[in-house]
Amino acid sequence: MGSIIGNMYFSPEWFFGYDIILELIFMVIILTVSYYSLKIYKLSGQREAKLFSLAFFFIAASYFIQSVVIFSIISTLNQSISLALKVMRVESINITGFFLQRFLFLLGLVTLVYMILKIKDKKLYFLLVLLTLIPLLFSPNMSYTFYLLSSIFLVYVTSHYLVNYIRHKQKKTLLVLAAFSFLLFGSIHFLISVNHSLFYVIGHFLEFIAYTLILINLILVIKK
């Protein structure tokens, strides 16, 4: 069973189950980030806060989908059916579920990039979405394309917060910069890593740190 799952989503066998728990924790943290961002928008009317909230809602949805997909794969492999049928079902779940998960995550990043651009043009937003969807949909290696696109978007987002921090030297900006730097490091590391199973575990902990830092930053903003 372990080898089949490993081929599907890089998780080492000893990490089965823990990844689902962590992804549900991520979902809760990110939904809280989305909620606080929406609260800031209602208090201030800032368009950036609304888009930030929407972006993290998409990302939270991606983690929910991923946890459901992994749980479905494990449940299928534990059923008393033939190995061939198990593999067929797992492949079907993997293709549809992980595509949706990756698209939602990238949609969140696209929304962040659109927020940073500060251009009020919905056509540009949908163009960015389309330019993200097409390579993901037709790529022969969806995982590699996903992490490549994630890295490109995260480079842009991280550089934006780096410039902001250099200009203003605010601790809140530093927290967000550190958070997106962790996410960027994780995404780029996957592209060059040989041991994807090891990174799968490390990446989960980097993501936990990143999303916690973003949540702390928003709590500090709300308090002020």
Cα 2 to the center of its chain, rounded Å:
24
> Is residue 153 a contact partner of residue 111, using CB atoms and an 8 Å limit?
no
CA distances to 59, 138, 214 from 28, rounded to whole Å, are: 11, 32, 13
Q: How many residues does the chain have?
A: 224
Per-residue pLDDT in tens (0 to 9) along the chain, 224 residues = 444 444 445 666 666 667 778 888 999 999 999 998 998 898 888 899 999 999 999 999 999 988 887 777 776 666 666 655 666 666 666 677 788 999 999 999 999 999 999 888 899 999 999 999 999 989 888 888 998 999 999 999 999 999 999 998 888 889 999 999 999 988 887 777 655 667 777 777 888 899 999 988 888 877 76
pTM: 0.86
> Is residue 46 a contact partner of residue 17, using CB atoms and an 8 Å limit?
no
Classified by CATH at the fold level, domain 2-223 comes out as Rhopdopsin 7-helix transmembrane proteins (1.20.1070)
